[in-house]
Amino acid sequence: MPKPFQGLLLICILLFSISGTRAQKRSGNEDYRQKMRDLVKDIAKKSRSKNSDFIIIPQNGIELIQKSGKNKTGTATPYLNAISAVAQEDLFYGYLEDDLPTPHQENSYLINYLNLIKQIKKPVFSIDYAFSDQNVTHSYFLNSNKDFIPFVAKRELNEIPQSKIFRENTRDIQKLEEVRNFLYLLNFSNFRSKEELIDKLAETNYDLLIIDAFFGRFDAFSAEEIASLKKKGNGGSRLVIAYMSIGEAEEYRFYWQKNWETYAPAWLTKENPNWAGNYKVKYWHTDWKNIIYRSENSYLRKIQNAGFDGVYLDIIDAFEYFENE
Protein backbone atom coordinates (compact mmCIF):
# COMPACT_ATOMS: atom_id res chain seq x y z
CA MET A 1 0.00 0.00 0.00
CA PRO A 2 1.52 3.38 -0.90
CA LYS A 3 2.14 6.00 1.76
CA PRO A 4 -0.46 8.85 1.97
CA PHE A 5 1.76 11.33 0.10
CA GLN A 6 2.54 8.80 -2.59
CA GLY A 7 -1.18 8.03 -2.97
CA LEU A 8 -2.06 11.71 -3.34
CA LEU A 9 0.70 12.15 -5.89
CA LEU A 10 -0.57 9.14 -7.83
CA ILE A 11 -4.12 10.55 -7.89
CA CYS A 12 -2.83 13.93 -9.10
CA ILE A 13 -0.83 12.28 -11.87
CA LEU A 14 -3.88 10.24 -12.90
CA LEU A 15 -6.17 13.28 -12.95
CA PHE A 16 -3.62 15.23 -14.98
CA SER A 17 -3.39 12.38 -17.45
CA ILE A 18 -7.17 12.17 -17.85
CA SER A 19 -7.42 15.94 -18.21
CA GLY A 20 -4.74 15.92 -20.88
CA THR A 21 -6.51 13.18 -22.81
CA ARG A 22 -9.78 15.08 -22.73
CA ALA A 23 -8.05 18.25 -23.84
CA GLN A 24 -6.60 16.44 -26.84
CA LYS A 25 -10.04 15.13 -27.76
CA ARG A 26 -11.56 18.59 -27.48
CA SER A 27 -8.79 20.16 -29.53
CA GLY A 28 -9.48 17.62 -32.27
CA ASN A 29 -13.16 18.59 -32.46
CA GLU A 30 -14.59 21.24 -34.72
CA ASP A 31 -15.09 24.67 -33.16
CA TYR A 32 -18.61 25.28 -34.43
CA ARG A 33 -18.86 28.57 -32.57
CA GLN A 34 -15.83 29.96 -34.32
CA LYS A 35 -17.19 28.76 -37.65
CA MET A 36 -20.34 30.81 -37.03
CA ARG A 37 -18.31 33.83 -35.96
CA ASP A 38 -16.31 33.52 -39.17
CA LEU A 39 -19.47 33.39 -41.27
CA VAL A 40 -20.87 36.52 -39.63
CA LYS A 41 -17.55 38.33 -40.04
CA ASP A 42 -17.39 37.34 -43.71
CA ILE A 43 -20.92 38.63 -44.31
CA ALA A 44 -20.01 41.89 -42.60
CA LYS A 45 -16.84 42.29 -44.64
CA LYS A 46 -18.55 41.51 -47.93
CA SER A 47 -21.51 43.80 -47.29
CA ARG A 48 -19.37 46.71 -46.11
CA SER A 49 -17.19 46.54 -49.19
CA LYS A 50 -20.28 47.93 -50.92
CA ASN A 51 -21.73 50.00 -48.06
CA SER A 52 -19.41 50.86 -45.18
CA ASP A 53 -22.38 51.69 -42.92
CA PHE A 54 -24.20 48.41 -43.52
CA ILE A 55 -25.78 47.12 -40.30
CA ILE A 56 -25.23 43.57 -39.02
CA ILE A 57 -27.49 42.29 -36.22
CA PRO A 58 -27.23 38.64 -35.10
CA GLN A 59 -30.23 37.18 -33.27
CA ASN A 60 -29.59 34.81 -30.34
CA GLY A 61 -26.36 32.81 -29.99
CA ILE A 62 -25.15 35.47 -27.57
CA GLU A 63 -22.40 33.15 -26.30
CA LEU A 64 -20.44 33.94 -29.46
CA ILE A 65 -19.30 37.24 -27.94
CA GLN A 66 -16.91 35.24 -25.75
CA LYS A 67 -13.98 33.22 -27.00
CA SER A 68 -14.50 29.47 -27.15
CA GLY A 69 -12.17 26.54 -26.78
CA LYS A 70 -9.64 25.35 -24.23
CA ASN A 71 -7.72 28.04 -22.34
CA LYS A 72 -9.57 30.84 -24.12
CA THR A 73 -11.08 33.60 -22.03
CA GLY A 74 -12.35 37.09 -22.70
CA THR A 75 -14.39 38.58 -25.48
CA ALA A 76 -14.26 37.60 -29.15
CA THR A 77 -13.13 41.04 -30.30
CA PRO A 78 -13.11 40.50 -34.10
CA TYR A 79 -16.67 39.20 -33.92
CA LEU A 80 -17.79 42.13 -31.77
CA ASN A 81 -16.17 44.54 -34.20
CA ALA A 82 -18.13 42.96 -37.06
CA ILE A 83 -21.59 43.30 -35.53
CA SER A 84 -23.57 46.49 -35.01
CA ALA A 85 -25.86 45.25 -32.24
CA VAL A 86 -27.36 42.02 -30.92
CA ALA A 87 -30.93 40.74 -30.70
CA GLN A 88 -32.29 38.29 -28.17
CA GLU A 89 -35.58 36.40 -28.18
CA ASP A 90 -37.52 35.24 -25.10
CA LEU A 91 -35.56 37.38 -22.65
CA PHE A 92 -38.46 38.08 -20.29
CA TYR A 93 -41.36 36.21 -21.92
CA GLY A 94 -41.67 33.18 -24.17
CA TYR A 95 -38.74 30.93 -23.28
CA LEU A 96 -40.92 28.05 -22.06
CA GLU A 97 -44.20 29.09 -23.61
CA ASP A 98 -45.59 32.24 -25.15
CA ASP A 99 -47.08 34.70 -22.64
CA LEU A 100 -45.29 32.99 -19.74
CA PRO A 101 -42.34 34.61 -17.92
CA THR A 102 -38.90 33.32 -18.80
CA PRO A 103 -37.38 31.42 -15.83
CA HIS A 104 -35.10 33.55 -13.67
CA GLN A 105 -32.07 31.33 -14.24
CA GLU A 106 -32.29 31.60 -18.02
CA ASN A 107 -33.08 35.31 -17.87
CA SER A 108 -30.07 36.01 -15.64
CA TYR A 109 -27.80 33.94 -17.87
CA LEU A 110 -28.77 35.98 -20.93
CA ILE A 111 -28.65 39.34 -19.19
CA ASN A 112 -25.08 38.71 -18.04
CA TYR A 113 -24.06 38.45 -21.68
CA LEU A 114 -26.25 41.31 -22.87
CA ASN A 115 -24.79 43.62 -20.24
CA LEU A 116 -21.38 43.06 -21.83
CA ILE A 117 -22.82 44.37 -25.09
CA LYS A 118 -24.15 47.45 -23.33
CA GLN A 119 -20.72 48.08 -21.82
CA ILE A 120 -19.22 48.44 -25.29
CA LYS A 121 -22.01 50.83 -26.32
CA LYS A 122 -23.80 48.59 -28.80
CA PRO A 123 -27.62 48.40 -28.86
CA VAL A 124 -29.49 45.37 -27.54
CA PHE A 125 -32.79 44.49 -29.24
CA SER A 126 -35.16 42.29 -27.27
CA ILE A 127 -38.04 40.28 -28.72
CA ASP A 128 -40.49 38.86 -26.20
CA TYR A 129 -43.44 36.67 -27.10
CA ALA A 130 -46.50 37.67 -25.09
CA PHE A 131 -50.05 38.67 -25.93
CA SER A 132 -51.97 39.49 -22.74
CA ASP A 133 -52.06 43.24 -22.09
CA GLN A 134 -50.55 42.85 -18.64
CA ASN A 135 -47.58 40.80 -19.83
CA VAL A 136 -46.95 42.97 -22.87
CA THR A 137 -46.81 46.05 -20.65
CA HIS A 138 -44.60 44.24 -18.14
CA SER A 139 -42.16 43.17 -20.84
CA TYR A 140 -41.75 46.72 -22.11
CA PHE A 141 -41.21 47.89 -18.53
CA LEU A 142 -38.55 45.25 -17.76
CA ASN A 143 -36.69 45.82 -21.02
CA SER A 144 -36.70 49.60 -20.67
CA ASN A 145 -35.26 49.26 -17.16
CA LYS A 146 -32.29 47.45 -18.71
CA ASP A 147 -32.02 50.03 -21.49
CA PHE A 148 -32.82 47.37 -24.08
CA ILE A 149 -34.91 48.17 -27.17
CA PRO A 150 -37.99 45.93 -27.00
CA PHE A 151 -40.64 44.53 -29.30
CA VAL A 152 -43.41 42.32 -27.91
CA ALA A 153 -45.73 40.29 -30.12
CA LYS A 154 -47.17 36.89 -30.92
CA ARG A 155 -44.57 34.44 -32.20
CA GLU A 156 -46.15 34.27 -35.64
CA LEU A 157 -44.84 37.80 -36.31
CA ASN A 158 -47.64 38.25 -38.81
CA GLU A 159 -49.26 41.51 -37.79
CA ILE A 160 -48.57 45.15 -37.08
CA PRO A 161 -49.58 45.79 -33.46
CA GLN A 162 -52.50 48.16 -33.04
CA SER A 163 -51.30 49.41 -29.66
CA LYS A 164 -49.38 52.65 -29.23
CA ILE A 165 -45.75 52.36 -30.28
CA PHE A 166 -43.30 52.21 -27.40
CA ARG A 167 -41.26 55.45 -27.24
CA GLU A 168 -42.88 56.76 -30.43
CA ASN A 169 -41.18 59.87 -31.78
CA THR A 170 -40.84 62.13 -34.83
CA ARG A 171 -37.04 62.09 -34.95
CA ASP A 172 -35.02 61.41 -38.07
CA ILE A 173 -33.25 58.10 -37.50
CA GLN A 174 -29.97 57.88 -39.38
CA LYS A 175 -27.99 55.51 -37.15
CA LEU A 176 -28.81 52.35 -35.25
CA GLU A 177 -27.84 54.02 -31.97
CA GLU A 178 -30.72 56.48 -32.45
CA VAL A 179 -33.39 53.77 -32.64
CA ARG A 180 -35.84 53.74 -29.73
CA ASN A 181 -38.39 51.22 -31.05
CA PHE A 182 -38.83 48.74 -33.89
CA LEU A 183 -41.25 46.47 -35.72
CA TYR A 184 -40.38 42.83 -36.39
CA LEU A 185 -42.64 41.48 -39.15
CA LEU A 186 -41.73 38.33 -41.08
CA ASN A 187 -44.97 36.58 -41.96
CA PHE A 188 -46.96 38.51 -44.57
CA SER A 189 -49.88 36.07 -44.80
CA ASN A 190 -52.36 38.62 -43.41
CA PHE A 191 -51.68 41.01 -46.29
CA ARG A 192 -53.47 40.45 -49.59
CA SER A 193 -50.72 41.98 -51.70
CA LYS A 194 -47.29 43.53 -51.51
CA GLU A 195 -48.88 46.91 -52.19
CA GLU A 196 -51.17 46.58 -49.18
CA LEU A 197 -48.22 45.59 -46.99
CA ILE A 198 -46.14 48.56 -48.14
CA ASP A 199 -49.03 50.96 -47.55
CA LYS A 200 -49.60 49.63 -44.02
CA LEU A 201 -45.91 49.77 -43.15
CA ALA A 202 -45.58 53.29 -44.55
CA GLU A 203 -48.31 54.48 -42.18
CA THR A 204 -46.38 53.38 -39.08
CA ASN A 205 -44.01 55.47 -36.99
CA TYR A 206 -41.48 52.83 -35.98
CA ASP A 207 -37.83 53.94 -35.95
CA LEU A 208 -36.74 50.62 -37.45
CA LEU A 209 -38.46 48.01 -39.61
CA ILE A 210 -37.13 44.45 -39.63
CA ILE A 211 -38.90 42.63 -42.45
CA ASP A 212 -38.43 39.78 -44.88
CA ALA A 213 -36.70 40.76 -48.12
CA PHE A 214 -39.32 38.92 -50.17
CA PHE A 215 -43.09 38.96 -50.50
CA GLY A 216 -43.43 35.33 -51.44
CA ARG A 217 -40.67 33.08 -52.72
CA PHE A 218 -39.40 35.11 -55.65
CA ASP A 219 -41.00 38.55 -55.29
CA ALA A 220 -38.13 40.56 -53.81
CA PHE A 221 -38.71 44.13 -52.69
CA SER A 222 -37.36 46.69 -55.14
CA ALA A 223 -35.07 49.59 -54.27
CA GLU A 224 -37.96 51.98 -54.90
CA GLU A 225 -40.24 50.07 -52.53
CA ILE A 226 -37.66 49.98 -49.74
CA ALA A 227 -36.89 53.68 -50.24
CA SER A 228 -40.58 54.45 -49.71
CA LEU A 229 -40.50 52.63 -46.37
CA LYS A 230 -37.61 54.71 -45.04
CA LYS A 231 -40.02 57.49 -44.17
CA LYS A 232 -42.25 57.20 -41.10
CA GLY A 233 -45.91 58.06 -41.30
CA ASN A 234 -45.19 61.20 -39.25
CA GLY A 235 -42.49 62.34 -41.68
CA GLY A 236 -39.36 61.29 -39.82
CA SER A 237 -36.77 59.08 -41.52
CA ARG A 238 -36.05 55.53 -40.36
CA LEU A 239 -33.99 52.42 -41.05
CA VAL A 240 -35.18 49.28 -42.84
CA ILE A 241 -33.35 45.98 -42.30
CA ALA A 242 -33.83 42.61 -44.01
CA TYR A 243 -34.16 39.25 -42.28
CA MET A 244 -31.85 36.45 -43.42
CA SER A 245 -31.46 32.97 -41.91
CA ILE A 246 -27.87 31.75 -42.13
CA GLY A 247 -28.07 28.66 -39.89
CA GLU A 248 -30.94 26.93 -41.68
CA ALA A 249 -32.07 26.54 -45.28
CA GLU A 250 -35.74 27.24 -45.97
CA GLU A 251 -37.60 25.39 -48.70
CA TYR A 252 -39.73 28.47 -49.47
CA ARG A 253 -36.70 30.56 -50.51
CA PHE A 254 -35.57 31.53 -54.00
CA TYR A 255 -32.46 29.34 -53.74
CA TRP A 256 -34.27 26.08 -52.88
CA GLN A 257 -34.03 23.28 -55.45
CA LYS A 258 -36.82 20.69 -55.53
CA ASN A 259 -34.42 17.80 -56.17
CA TRP A 260 -32.75 18.47 -52.81
CA GLU A 261 -35.56 16.47 -51.22
CA THR A 262 -34.18 13.39 -53.00
CA TYR A 263 -30.54 14.33 -53.56
CA ALA A 264 -29.57 16.57 -50.68
CA PRO A 265 -26.39 18.63 -51.12
CA ALA A 266 -23.50 17.86 -48.78
CA TRP A 267 -24.20 20.88 -46.58
CA LEU A 268 -27.92 20.17 -46.02
CA THR A 269 -28.81 18.12 -42.92
CA LYS A 270 -31.95 17.31 -40.92
CA GLU A 271 -35.27 19.13 -40.98
CA ASN A 272 -36.04 21.22 -37.93
CA PRO A 273 -38.82 19.28 -36.12
CA ASN A 274 -40.24 22.54 -34.76
CA TRP A 275 -40.33 24.42 -38.08
CA ALA A 276 -41.50 22.44 -41.10
CA GLY A 277 -39.54 23.20 -44.25
CA ASN A 278 -36.47 24.48 -42.38
CA TYR A 279 -33.28 22.41 -42.53
CA LYS A 280 -30.08 22.65 -40.54
CA VAL A 281 -27.07 23.44 -42.69
CA LYS A 282 -23.33 23.03 -42.40
CA TYR A 283 -22.99 26.77 -42.46
CA TRP A 284 -19.22 26.68 -42.95
CA HIS A 285 -19.57 24.84 -46.28
CA THR A 286 -18.44 26.69 -49.41
CA ASP A 287 -21.65 26.05 -51.36
CA TRP A 288 -23.79 27.46 -48.55
CA LYS A 289 -21.56 30.53 -48.35
CA ASN A 290 -22.04 31.01 -52.08
CA ILE A 291 -25.81 31.05 -51.58
CA ILE A 292 -25.66 33.44 -48.64
CA TYR A 293 -23.09 36.04 -49.68
CA ARG A 294 -20.41 35.04 -52.18
CA SER A 295 -22.13 34.64 -55.55
CA GLU A 296 -23.57 37.31 -57.85
CA ASN A 297 -27.04 35.87 -57.16
CA SER A 298 -26.52 35.58 -53.40
CA TYR A 299 -29.07 36.36 -50.73
CA LEU A 300 -26.95 39.24 -49.46
CA ARG A 301 -26.57 40.71 -52.94
CA LYS A 302 -30.36 40.76 -53.40
CA ILE A 303 -30.78 42.48 -50.03
CA GLN A 304 -28.20 45.15 -50.80
CA ASN A 305 -29.51 45.72 -54.32
CA ALA A 306 -32.92 46.46 -52.77
CA GLY A 307 -31.39 49.22 -50.65
CA PHE A 308 -31.86 47.75 -47.19
CA ASP A 309 -29.80 49.44 -44.46
CA GLY A 310 -28.62 46.16 -43.01
CA VAL A 311 -29.29 42.52 -42.37
CA TYR A 312 -30.79 40.70 -39.40
CA LEU A 313 -29.11 37.30 -39.11
CA ASP A 314 -31.12 34.42 -37.68
CA ILE A 315 -30.27 30.90 -36.48
CA ILE A 316 -26.93 32.15 -35.21
CA ASP A 317 -27.24 29.53 -32.48
CA ALA A 318 -27.04 26.69 -35.04
CA PHE A 319 -23.67 25.84 -33.49
CA GLU A 320 -25.59 24.24 -30.60
CA TYR A 321 -27.10 21.65 -32.95
CA PHE A 322 -23.70 20.47 -34.16
CA GLU A 323 -22.14 20.57 -30.70
CA ASN A 324 -24.87 18.24 -29.45
CA GLU A 325 -24.77 15.77 -32.33
pLDDT tens across 188-214, in order? 999 999 999 999 999 999 999 999 999
- pTM of the entire predicted model: 0.90
Region of residue 278 (left: phi > 0; alpha: psi -120 to 50; beta: else): beta
Tens of pLDDT along the chain (325 residues) come to: 333 333 323 223 222 322 332 232 233 478 999 999 999 999 999 999 999 999 999 999 999 999 876 666 789 999 999 999 999 999 999 999 999 999 999 999 999 999 999 999 999 999 999 999 999 999 999 999 999 999 999 999 999 999 999 999 999 999 999 999 999 999 999 999 999 999 999 999 999 999 999 999 899 999 999 999 999 999 999 999 999 999 999 999 999 999 998 899 999 999 999 999 999 999 999 999 999 999 999 999 999 999 999 999 999 999 999 999 8
pLDDT in tens, 34-82: 999 999 999 999 999 999 999 999 999 999 999 876 666 789 999 999 9
Give the fold, CATH level 3, of 30-323: TIM Barrel (3.20.20)
Q: Are 123 and 85 in contact (CB under 8 A)?
A: yes
Q: What angle do CA 188, 313, 203 make, to 5 degrees?
A: 40
149 neighbors 180 (Cβ within 8 angstroms): yes
Q: Domain segments of the chain: what residues?
A: 30-323
What strands lie across the sheet with 268-271, from one edge to the other?
Answer: 248-250, 278-281, 268-271
